[in-house]
Amino acid sequence: MSDYVTQETFDKMREELHRMKSIDRPASSRAIGEAREKGDLKENAEYDAAKEAQGMLEAKIKQLEGVISNAKIVDPGTLDTSKVTILTKVTITNLATKKTMVYQIVGEKEADLKLGKISASSPIGKGLLGKVVGEVAEVQAPNGIAKFRIENITI
């Protein structure tokens, strides 16, 4: 599955991958080498821990390579604000509580609720996508269906 990201997030992921390959991977190999020099590998907990850490690092590298290869970079300048799409900011009102919130719809890699960024694949994100100003989105929540009115859509 492809994940929509901004150029900034894509660049950060590439930098992280480069760091893992050029700094973390050689450090992991050195740790294994140092642990190997300490004697019998059957009873060497330090060696086992270093090998396990290397395996986890390699899994992270593989996972990040997959994310980067499937990422779709979205240019905010080309967004259509007539409806809710990826990277748009949407002002919504919860019809039950009358509370108004502003969320930016982003890909999973950029989602951060504290920053007001929700994933397009989250229940609220899915419910809002494609809606226009004035429309009501019905979202399945754990406590029933929540209704949100779209108040505004911006970049």
Residues 84 and 130 in one domain: yes
**CA 76 and chain centroid, separation:** 17
DSSP letter for 75, please: -
Buried/exposed 17-41: b ≥16 CB within 10 Å, e otherwise: beebeeebeeebeebbeebeeeeee
Tell whether 97 and 118 lie within a shared domain: yes
Asked if residue 147 and residue 81 are part of one domain, the reply reads yes
2 pLDDT exceeds 70? no
Q: How many domains is the chain partitioned into structurally?
A: 2
pLDDT digits (tens, 9 = 90+) for 88-134: 999 999 999 999 999 999 888 788 899 999 998 899 999 999 999 99
Give the domain CATH number at 36. 1.10.287.180
Give the pLDDT of residue 151. Answer: 96
Q: Which of 31, 56, 73 is the last residue of a domain?
A: 73
67 plus 81 within the same structural domain: no
| Phi then psi dihedrals of residue 76, to 5 deg | -55, -25
pLDDT at 8: 85
For residue 58 the two structure tokens come to 């390699």
Domain span holding position 36: 4-73
* Tens-digit pLDDT profile for residues 58-95: 999 999 999 899 888 888 777 788 999 988 999 999 99
Let me know whether 9 and 29 are in one domain.
yes
